[in-house]
Amino acid sequence: MDLRFTQEQEELRRAVRQFAEQVVAPVVLPMEESDQFPVSLIASMAQAGLMGIPIPKQNQGAGMDFISYVLAINEISRISAAAGVILSVHTSVGTLPIVQYGTVEQISKYVPQLATGQYLGAFALTEPQAGSDAAAIRTTAVREGDYYVLNGSKLFITNAGAASTYITFAVTNPAKGSYGISAFIIERDMPGFLVGRNERKLGLHGSSTCELFFDQLKLHISQRLGAEGDGFTIAKGSLDGGRIGIAAQALGIAERALQLTEDVWNKERIVIRNQRVALPYTQAKIAELVMQVEAAKLLVYRAAYMRQQGVRCTKEASAAKLYASDTAVKVTNAVMQLQGMDSCLSGCVMERLFRDAKATQIYEGTNEIHRIVISGQLLR
C-alpha cells in the first residue's frame, strides 16, 4: 500500500477544505440552533460536485476513486460532522448500491439524479427490533404477481426527512432467514409510504433522522434491487463502504479537536510566560492524542485503499470505524478537560464536537458489534 496521496487526491483535499471553511462553516451555527436540514448547503455541495465523487462519469459523477471520496468526507467533517454524515450516507449507502447492484434501467433512472444532487439518497435497514442484528428485520414484502406489497417500519434513518430515494430492505421469504431478505428502491412520493417526524438528537444537529412507515406500499418488481433474497448480501457489502465513511467523519471530528489543543497550549504558555516549555502534563496528553489520531488515520485510509482495490475489507472497515469513533470520543473529551469550563458552554466548538462524536460510536453498527465482527473474522 502506498501511504502517499496522489496529486489529484491532494488537489481535491485542498479544494474541499477551502469549500468547507468558506461555505460550510458559516452555516454550522444556524444548523446547530435551528436543527433544520441545510437544503441550501446541500445545493452548494451539489454545485461543487461533491455529491457524486466516486460515481462514474457516464452516470454524471466525478469519476474519482474511493479514497478521494473518503478524503472529502474527512475534510467536510472537520467543519461539520452533520454535513459529513449527510454526504456519507447519500453516497456510500444511498447511491453506490444502485451503481453496484442495479439494472441498466435503475442506474440510468436514479444514479445521475443522485450523483448531481438533484436527489438525496437514504438507506433504510434499521428497525425497532433490529438494530445491530440486521437479519432480524420484520418489514415484509409479499409478492403478488408483478408487484410486492410492503408493510412495516424503519427507525433512525439518516437523511430520511429530505431524501428522494430510499434503499429499503424487507423480508420476502421468512423461511430462509437472512437469505430471505430483499432490497428495493423506494421513491418518496409513492402511495403507502410515510416519513415520520424528525428525531431530536444529542448531536449532529441539522442532519435528518426519521422513522419510516410502509402501509400496503405496492412496488413493481422493477423496483427490486438485485435478485430476490440478495438483500442481506447487498446490505453487508454496502455497509463496509458506509462504515469507512463514518470512520472518516469521526476522524475529521478528532482532527478538529486536536487542532483546538493549540488554544490550550497558548493559554498555558501565557500562564507560565516566564518558562520556555508548557506544562509537562499537557505536553504528554497532547502527544498521546496525536498518536491516537494518527493511528485512526492509518486505519481509515487502509480500509479505503482496500475498498478501492475491490478487496474484501469487512474486518478493516469495522476496525477503522471502531477505532476512529472511539478516538473521536476520547480526543474530544480530553481536549474539553484541558480547555476547562469554556469548552462546556453552548455554542462552543468543542461542546459541539463532543456531542457529535458520540453518535459515531453507535450508528453504522455499534462498536460492540464491530468487536464481534473483527473477532469473528479472525476466529472463523
- The catalytic residue positions are 364
Q: How far is Cα 20 from Cα 37, in angstroms, rounded to an integer?
A: 17
Cα-Cα end-to-end distance for the chain: 26
Indicate the angle between helix axes 81-88 and 349-359, nearest 10 degrees. 30
Number of other CB atoms surrounding residue 166 within 10 Å:
23
In this structure, which amino acid lies at residue 284? A
Spatial contact of 72 and 16, defined as CB atoms under 8 Å apart: yes
Indicate the angle between helix axes 261-271 and 314-339, nearest 10 degrees. 30
Of 263, 247, 264, 259, the residue nearest 328 (C-alpha): 247
Q: How far is Cα 236 from Cα 242, in angstroms, rounded to an integer?
A: 10
Of 343, 366, 332, 336, the residue nearest 78 (C-alpha): 332
SS3 216: strand
Q: 101: burial class by Cβ within 10 Å (0-12, 13-18, 19+)?
A: buried
Owner of C-alpha cell 510566560: 273
Size of the chain, expressed as the number of residues it contains: 380
Q: How far is Cα 76 from Cα 253, in angstroms, rounded to an integer?
A: 10
SS3 46: helix
Q: What is the 3-state secondary structure (H, E, C) of 167-192?
A: EEEEECCHHHHHHHEEEEEEECCCCC
Please say whether the dihedral angle defined by the alpha carbons of residues 50, 53, 56 and 57, taken in this order, is positive or negative: positive
Owner of C-alpha cell 476522524: 251
CB burial of 232-247 (b: ≥16 within 10 Å; e: otherwise) equals: bbbbebbbbbbbbbbb
